[in-house]
Structure 1
C-alpha cells in the first residue's frame, strides 16, 4: 500500500499557540490525521520543535517552516512509496532530518507525520489504533491521574509546584475511576469557593487558587476526597509533579513563587521523605532536577520502595538517557511523552526498555495540548496502566478521557482496568 498524499496545516493548540496538523492518505483511501502538542515546562534533552522565530507572527511561535517541511521535503520522499512498517517510515524521517534532536525538519513536523502514518495504516487494516500498535493483548485501561490544582509555569498563582493530581485507583473500571475523580474535583471546587478562593483553571484544567503554601494545596485535596465520600490512600491517592527543573539554579532549588527560600538537594530529599510519610502520595514526578543525578540516586535509594518516582525531564522519553538511569538506579518509573522523542516507534521502544527493566510507565499529555487523542490509544497499546491527561475539563483534556471511555465500551467484557497494581510501591 503506497502513500498517495501528505499535507500539513498550521493550527492552534490549547494555549492559542500554533502547532502542526498533518494528513496522510494511502492509495486505498485510508487516511490518518495528527495534531502535536507542546510543553511549557520542557527538558533540555527533548526533541526540538521548529518555530519560525518571526516576531511579526504569533510572537515568533509560528510553525510555517515545519508545515513547509512536511509539504516539501517529506512529501517528496514519502509520497508514492510503500507505507511499510512504522519503524521503517520513522527511520526514513530521522535519516532525512539528519540531526540528533530532529531540529532541522522539526520534531513537531516529524511526529505529526509519524502519528498520521500509524492512523492511516490502522485504518487500512480496519483496526482501532490501540490494537494496531499493541496487538490483541491491548485490553488494559489505564488509571487516570487527574490534575486538580495547577501551579508553577502552568498557572499565574502562588504555588511553586506545577501539578497536584488525584489517582482514583480503587475503581472497578475506567469509567468509574473518571466518575470518582470528577466527584472529588467537584468537592474541591466547593471547598475553594467556601474559602473565597478562585476556581479559575490553569493550563491543564486544574484549579489555580492563590494559596499560602504548596502544602495547603495537598490539604485542600485531602479534604475534598473525604467530602466526596472516599478514603485518601485507599480509594483515591495523590500524584505530584513539582517540576523542580524549573526551580533549579546554581545547584539549588528556589521556591520562586511562594517564599523565595532556597533548598539544597539534600533538603529537597528530606522534604519528599517527610511528605511521603505524612501524605498518601502514590507518584512523585520530577521531584528533583534533570541536572541533579546524584540527588536522584540518593532519593531513589531512600524512598524508591515507598513511592513511584517518575523521571520526566531527566529521561525525556529517550532510550539512551533511560539506560543511564537504569544503570545508576535513578527513579523507578518513566513518563512517556511522544513529542519528547519525536516518532511513534522510538516512543514504543523507550517504553519497552523501561518495562524490561522493571520500570513503570505513565503516558502523558503536554500543557499545550490539542484535541488529538493519540496518547489514549497509546496507553492501551502499551498496557502501562497509567495516564496523565489533565483535569476532567477543557476539551483538549476530556477528549482523551472520552476516547478511553469509548475504548472501554468497545472492548466490552475484554476490557480490564489497571487499578492500584499499575503503580510501583
Structure 2
C-alpha cells in the first residue's frame, strides 16, 4: 500500500454510513483502489444509539443515513421508508447526531470531511437558499429564504406567501426533504385555476407516501389537503423557473464539486417538473448541453463557476452536489439546491478539464484528501 504523502503512513478513513449501502461500498472501493487501508465503517444505527468513537489521525467521512430501515426508524420514528412525514423530527435527530460526531472527532484528534454546522444548513433548504443568495449566487426567488423568513404552517399561509411574492408557478419543497420526497410543483392558470404535480400520495387517513408515479392534482381543495399535511414539518417555497430542454424534455444538471472544483456533471431530463431518475428522469447528453450553452452565446465555464460559488458557501465540507437549473435557451443558469450527499453518480467519470478525468466522484474525493494532506504537510 502506498503511504499518505502527508504523514509517511497510509491515510486511514473512517466512514459513518450504512455498511451494505452502495454509497459506502463505492467509497471503500475508491479507497482500496488508491492503495489505502479499507475504511473503518461505523453503522449509522449504532451511532444513533450510542454515539461515535474515532481514533487519532483518522479522516472521517459522514455519509447518508438513508436506505436503512433501522436508521430511518431512529431518525424519523418509522421504519417505512415510503412515508413522507417526519422530516422535522429527522432533521433534529440528524443534526444532533452529527454534532456528536463532530465532538467525538475533535476529542479523538480525527479530521472531519463534513462540517456539522454546514450540514445543518445544507439540510434546511430555507437556510441553504438564504446563504447562497447572500453570497451572490443566482437562485430562484423565494419568500421563505433565510432564517428570519416566514414559516408557513398550512395551505392558507402558503397561498398568502405565493400571492405576496407574485408567484404563479412555484415549487413547494419539504424544508428537510431529499430525492423529491413530498415536492409539489404548483401553478396557477387563467381565472385562478390551480394544479399541482407531485409524487406524494395520501391514504384514506391522510398519511403521505412517496410513489414512483407522478400525478397531477387539479383542484385547490386537493392541493390544500396535501399541503396541510406537509407544512407542519417545514416548507420552502421557490419560483418554478422555465428550464431549458433536451430532446423535448425539461433538463437540469447535477454538478459535483470536490475541494472547491467542479469535477463531475450529469444532465437529467424529464417530461415532469421533477427530473429525479427514480421518478422517470433520464440521463441526458452532457456534450450536447455544453454545445447548447456555447451556441446560445454563453460559456460553460460560467455555469461551472456558479456551482463552485455555491459550494464555496460551505468551505469545510469536502464535497457537495449542486443542482444547476439552465434557463430556457441555455444561456442563463440558477442554482436550485446544494446537496450534502449529492455524489452518488454510479459509472460516471469526471468531465474533460475538471481535474478528475477517469475518476468517479469517490476516487476524486480520495485524491483530494491526499492532496490536501500533502499541502498541509508541506506548509
TM over 0.5: no
The structure carrying a bigger helix percent of its residues is: 1
The one of the two structures with greater contact order (alpha-carbon pairs below 8 A, sep at least 6) is 1
**TM-score scaled to structure 1, two decimals?**
0.27
**TM-score scaled to structure 2, two decimals?**
0.29
The structure carrying a bigger strand percent of its residues is: 2
